[in-house]
Amino acid sequence: MITIPFSPRHGRNRSAIVRVALVLAFAVLTAWGMHANCQEECSLVVQGRIAPAVSIYTSPDLIEWNDLYPGTNDLENAVTVTMLSNVDYEATISCSTPYMKGPGLTELLTNPLEWKCSGGDYRVISVAPATIRLGGPSASGGDSELISFRQVVEYSDPPLDNPAKAYVMTVRFAIEPRL
Amino acid sequence: MTRMAIAVILAVTLSVAAWSAPGADGRWLSRGVSGLTVTPAIIQKELGRFLWLPDTRVGQINVANRGTTPIVVDFQIAGIAHNADGSIDVLPCPPEVAAGLILSPAGPMTVMPDRAAAVRLELDRAYIDMPGRSGLCAALIISSAPMPARLASQGLEVGSTIVLPVMVKLSWRDRARLAVVEACVESSGAENSRPALALKVANEGGAYARVDGRVSITAADGTRAAEAEFGPAVALPGCMRAFRMELEGPELPPGRYLVDARIRADGKAAGGAKFAVEVGPKITVSSLGRP
């Protein structure tokens, strides 16, 4: 039996077609693979953790009480305390010493300073913190408390010789998260 | 130009005078606002180690001055405990805690309005190396006061303080030891009221633990009467947390019950306890005897 081969020209054409087809197949596969890989690599996972945060604002930060007279002296709604927190908290009031103190070592007023929250009763201020509010995560404006002060002055409490000096006290408002 | 300068000076002077003039009644309330923000407000850190080298970095806190005047911020380390509902008690600082927690910078710092300062917290290597230590708990007291130049010593100064709990655990030494010290079924006796289970869990370990768990109540005949979950809540070493759970279902009829409390510390099983509880017609008697 005699086999008649394809013409050399015809064979070259077929091999060329096969090569081109292979190259195209590889190109398609590579492009598809790259596309698939790209889809995986481009995905983005966003994670977030909110840290516990607390803020405390007091306004004003200084009170000059220049009209103290013998008798009961009230300073209604003297301080606004604003608390912001994203966790449960306790806000407290305390002081350096319960008695307003003059420049001398022994110059103390006879009666301690008293304080109250709005709607509450006056209590003697103390070095030990007293709770003014128990709260939780705050609204955008925060939680506010209006603090009033009362100072009873006796006739035995003398005015200071130096008018530039005053009886002083530091009132401290604190916020602490609850566990 | 000179007239303009004089006008500006006059305007500034008048505004300052209006700002600081005493009121007609002799009271003067400064318009200054004292504001202090601390993030994070709670530090919980589990320190690991690489080979024999422990990590000492606890974290960093940012202290921001949200007020209108420059402030001096001071730091003080104190001991910490909490009561049954999680309110913090600030205690005198044990010397080893004061030496073990390192602040950087340690001293007072001045913070201008709308600015923040960062403070890094680290554990002392010597504290970590002491055998038997499995953590540290402290209260960091952050106090702000107006700058000394503004301290006129006139009347009532108002300052702000933030108490920040710092809880650190050494993971390779942590052995959570929790114990249920009290279980009590509270029955109000009122109609349509659900019984409540009060549980107290004590942390007898050396590091803080995040406590949660599940309680089931079975009757004497073995039938399940109620079930509830509690927590999570943080318990400091040597402190006790109270949990109160409303039980599903109707009022428990009088009789003897078995309370099975399963506790988890940081998501891992940490033991439990079984208590016999006797519910009377009006009152509830709890027994701490373990069956």
Check CB contact under 8 Å for A170 and B22: no
pLDDT computed for residue B267 by the predictor: 86
Q: Domain B31-172's class?
A: mainly beta
Assess B84–A contact: CB distance below 8 Å, yes or no.
no
Contact B89, B52 (CB under 8 A): no
Distance between CA A147 and CA B224 in Å, rounded? 52
pTM of the predicted model as reported, rounded to 2 decimal places: 0.77
> What is residue B177's predicted lDDT score, i.e. its pLDDT?
86
Query: Residues A42-70: what's their mean pLDDT?
Result: 88
| CB-CB under 8 Å, A172 with B155 | no
Q: What is the pLDDT of residue A32?
A: 79
Contact A75, B26 (CB under 8 A): no
> Which one of B19, B72, B158, B160 would you mutate to disrupt binding with A, by most A Cβ within 10 Å of its Cβ?
B158
* Model pLDDT, residue A110: 92
Which chain A residues in 35-94 lie under 8 Å from chain B, judged by CB atoms?
51-67, 75, 78-79, 84-85, 87-88, 90
Instruction: Tell me the backbone φ, ψ of residue B126, rounded to 5 degrees.
Output: -65, -35
Name the pairing type of β-strands B155-170 and B209-219: unpaired
CB atoms < 10 A from the CB of B33, how many? 18
DSSP state of A101: B
Are B234 and A52 inside 8 Å of each other by CB? no
Q: Is the pLDDT of residue A147 over 90?
A: yes
Report how far residue B217's alpha carbon sits from residue B223's, in angstroms, rounded to the nearest whole number: 9
ipTM score = 0.77
d(CA B289, CA B287): 5
Question: In this predicted structure, what is the pLDDT of residue A145?
Answer: 93
CATH topology of domain A54-177: Immunoglobulin-like (2.60.40)
* Nearest CA distance, B279 vs chain A (angstrom): 32
> For chain A, which residues make up each domain, given as ranges?
54-177
Mean pLDDT, chain A, whole residue set: 86
Write out the H or E segment, with its range, that includes residue B140.
strand B135-146
Which residue reads 């005078």 in tokens? Answer: B17
Condensed to tens digits (0 to 9), the pLDDT of residues A113-130 reads: 999 998 889 999 999 999
Stronger pLDDT, A49 or A3, i.e. the higher one: A49
CATH 2.60.40.10 fits B178-286, yes or no: yes
| The pLDDT value given to residue B17 | 39
Pairing of strands A62-65, B155-170: antiparallel
**Tell me, what's the pLDDT at B152?**
52
Per-residue pLDDT band at A3 (split at 50, 70, 90)? low
Query: pLDDT, tens digit, for every residue of A60-103?
Result: 888 888 888 999 999 999 999 999 999 999 999 999 889 998 88
Query: What element of type H or E holds B67?
Result: none
Residue with tokens 């109609």: B191
Q: Does B144 touch chain A (CB under 8 A)?
A: no
Q: Do A174 and B35 touch (CB under 8 A)?
A: no
Q: Which of B43, B44, B90, B156 to mutate to test the interface with A (most CBs of A within 10 A)?
A: B156
Start and end residues for every CATH 2.60.40.10 domain found in chain B: 31-172, 178-286
User: Can you give the pLDDT of all 291 residues of chain B as single tens digits?
Assistant: 555 554 544 344 434 334 444 444 566 666 678 889 999 999 999 998 888 888 899 999 999 998 888 889 999 999 999 999 888 999 998 888 889 999 999 879 999 999 999 999 999 999 998 888 888 999 999 999 887 655 555 678 888 999 999 999 998 887 788 888 887 777 665 655 667 888 889 999 889 999 999 988 888 888 888 888 888 999 999 999 999 888 776 667 778 888 888 999 988 888 888 888 777 665 455 555 443
Task: Judge: A57–B69 Cβ closer than 8 Å, yes or no.
Answer: no
pLDDT of residue B16: 39
What is the per-residue pLDDT for A165?
83
Dihedrals phi, psi of A42, to nearest 5 degrees = -85, -10
Give the residue with greater pLDDT, B16 vs A20. Answer: A20
